[in-house]
Amino acid sequence: MAIRFIVFTITVVALSSSFAHASDPSPLQDFCVAVNDSMAAVFVNGKICKNPMQVVANDFFFRGLNMPGNTSNPLGSKVTPVNVNNLPGLNTLGISLVRIDFAPNGLNPPHTHPRATEVLLVLEGTLYVGFVLSNPPPGMKNPLFTKTLVAGDVFVFPEGLIHFQFNVGKTNAIAFAGLSSQNPGVITIANAVFGSNPPINPQVLTKAFQVGQNVINYLQAQFWYNNS
């Protein structure tokens, strides 16, 4: 198991690094280790650089992706991200990584990454995955591309497109994904549409989804779980 874990992690990182320049800009120096800039008065596209003389090996280190995520939640899945927010050495490098654990029937619900393409590698289990294209021709519906993946299979989700993963097997599933941004972002569709703060005007949603306001009221009253 340990050897397989190392092999597939290296594979994911290698695959994702090949398209890393598709989103984040190229660095202009060896590294720019991020510092906590939440209280800084200067705003930059990314993170403020740590003084290179204060950089240490731990700035490029993260431990724990060998541990399964807790899938005891309404979605039956758990996303464990490794991005610039918990691995500061990723700043300006245009790459990040996630581990996704699935219980049987677990779902990583339809979502988008506004700043990254994602390449997914299945380690264990069977996943039904897919994404929906944008801008269909007039009179046509958005095309859906899906595959059922087993251990060792790889699937790519283009940047910004709605996609999902669903465990159709009878056992737990594990997948790893590389993303072409240090901070890819995630918009979970149902959470954003029905769980926004403040709520979207129900009249907008009743017209958009062509349902009665009682349906919209029900959906907006639900607790929309975040699995990451």
Nearest to 15 by CA among 177, 185, 138, 217: 177
Does residue 23 contact residue 115 with C-beta atoms inside 8 Å?
yes
* Segments of the chain assigned to CATH 2.60.120.10: 2-185
Q: Where are the alpha helices (DSSP H) in 127-184?
A: none
Check pLDDT > 80 for residue 112.
Answer: yes
What are the respective helix, strand and coil percentages of the chain, to the nearest 5? Answer: 20, 25, 50
CA–CA separation, 83 vs 184, rounded Å?
A: 8
Q: Which residue has the higher pLDDT, 112 or 47?
A: 112
The predicted-structure confidence for 174-217, as pLDDT tens digits, reads as follows 999 999 999 999 999 999 999 999 999 999 999 999 999 999 99
Question: Looking at the domain that runs over 2-185, which CATH code has it been given?
Answer: 2.60.120.10
3-state secondary structure of 201: coil
Give this prediction's pTM: 0.86
Does residue 68 contact residue 174 with C-beta atoms inside 8 Å?
yes
Tell me the average pLDDT of the chain. 90
For residue 35, the model assigns a pLDDT of 87
